[in-house]
Structure 1
């Protein structure tokens, strides 16, 4: 029987850091008040209904997505479609009036067990409803590998895509895991997960903030 869950110890998340900005227009500091993040759409084999949860940080610096059933696997009797799992979340983020946000960094974590010759990939992008999609990033892990994995996507401040001021647009978050047997023994199981039995593994999206014009 294929391994389905593993307990993973996540490393600490580095603090958000963005370049110094003109004080009258833009701010490194998260705004006062409280942001909320609501899931308005869920789709994908990596996040069946009820297996993905979202929570905003109390200091308004980030939000986390925690998965409980997100695992791709190949070999060892795994089904032909199990090598690829994906999740598409549509999030409605309510922010304090007069501020807008962008995603400055995303941290992804999980566990991988990859046979010699096999490899796994984590892919992701995110974009605002009605706007162009960001480039899809790909992080690859090569076997032999049996350990926690971590990948981060950072965006330079000049390249950030900001939510339109005064509008509510969903933030669409797409992730994907793939595991390929490569030159490994097809009877040997390789897998890659973005989940954990104790909920300690979360994808973390870090905000950058700025004031809207006229504030």
Structure 2
């Protein structure tokens, strides 16, 4: 697992309130962060899809259905794009942001459950071998932001999971990448539709102010796939 931290300011910052009225103090904090993040969207390069395994993907692969829900991904706030070579897909989230104030922890944890129905041709199956995440963290001293992500196939007891803390004080972009041993998270069913579930969690703890978002320009997360005959 590799973790990178860069010093570019953020480009997008959003809060989803879930029908919760943010007090004036929180609005002031959001405006402060927004003034920092509005400048440098063009300074951050778009991430390329990660390198993947030796076998080329079969031609007849498609994402048939996408279902998502959670406090971090309300309706019409997420979508998924399958790469033209079928070796990766990218999930985009426009409102996956967590924030904390000294006297307000209501928005300190956000989660999202994403389920993809993936059609695969006969005699083929795939596994997730690498995930790449980018985002921005603005944290006071003593505040810790944690990203937790888990991927698994429906009906399987095998899963891939990782957790990375980011400790304040910081006001920076971050990029972190997790590479697994091929197959440790399980393989999709052979030659049939696979339901891939991805659970993501953003949380902040400690005293002080802070915010973390995975949204960085256009790219939020990339999942690299490896294919094999079965």
Structure 2-normalised TM-score? 0.76
The Cα shift of 1:151 comes to 1.8
State how far apart, in whole Å, the 2-side matches of 1:191 and 1:98 are. 45
Tell me, yes or no, if the aligned pair for 1:71 and 1:193 is still in contact at 8 Å: yes
The Cα shift of 1:48 comes to 0.3
State how far apart, in whole Å, the 2-side matches of 1:128 and 1:193 are. 26
State how far apart, in whole Å, the 1-side matches of 2:149 and 2:59 are. 30
State how far apart, in whole Å, the 2-side matches of 1:94 and 1:171 are. 11
Tell me, yes or no, if the aligned pair for 1:105 and 1:206 is still in contact at 8 Å: yes
Output one character per residue of 1:62-121: Cα deviation in whole Å (capped at 9) or x when no partner.
0000000010010166x4320000000110112233211000011111111011111100
Report which of the two has the higher share of helix. Answer: 2
State how far apart, in whole Å, the 2-side matches of 1:13 and 1:132 are. 31
The change in CA–CA distance for 1:81 and 1:135 in structure 2 (over 3 A counts) is farther
Tell me, yes or no, if the aligned pair for 1:103 and 1:205 is still in contact at 8 Å: yes
Output one character per residue of 1:115-134: Cα deviation in whole Å (capped at 9) or x when no partner.
11111000000111111152
- Larger CA deviation: 7-16 vs 86-95: 7-16
Q: Tell me whether 1:138 sits opposite 2:168 in the alignment.
A: no
Q: Tell me whether 1:71 sits opposite 2:106 in the alignment.
A: no
Tell me, yes or no, if the aligned pair for 1:110 and 1:201 is still in contact at 8 Å: no
1:91 equivalent in structure 2: 116
The Cα shift of 1:135 comes to 4.7
1:193 equivalent in structure 2: 213
Tell me, yes or no, if the aligned pair for 1:125 and 1:133 is still in contact at 8 Å: no
State how far apart, in whole Å, the 1-side matches of 2:62 and 2:181 are. 25
DSSP 3-state at the match of 1:170:
strand
Structure 1: 4+ residue segments shifted above 6 A: none
Output one character per residue of 1:23-52: Cα deviation in whole Å (capped at 9) or x when no partner.
xxxxx2222414222444212100001101
1:175 equivalent in structure 2: 200
Q: Tell me whether 1:49 sits opposite 2:84 in the alignment.
A: no
The Cα shift of 1:179 comes to 1.1
State how far apart, in whole Å, the 2-side matches of 1:142 and 1:10 are. 24
State how far apart, in whole Å, the 1-side matches of 2:172 and 2:154 are. 36
Tell me, yes or no, if the aligned pair for 2:117 and 2:195 is still in contact at 8 Å: yes
1:25 equivalent in structure 2: none
The change in CA–CA distance for 1:76 and 1:10 in structure 2 (over 3 A counts) is farther
**Aligned equivalent of 2:47, options 9, 12, 18:** 12
Tell me, yes or no, if the aligned pair for 1:31 and 1:96 is still in contact at 8 Å: no
Structure 1's unaligned 5+ residue stretches are 19-27
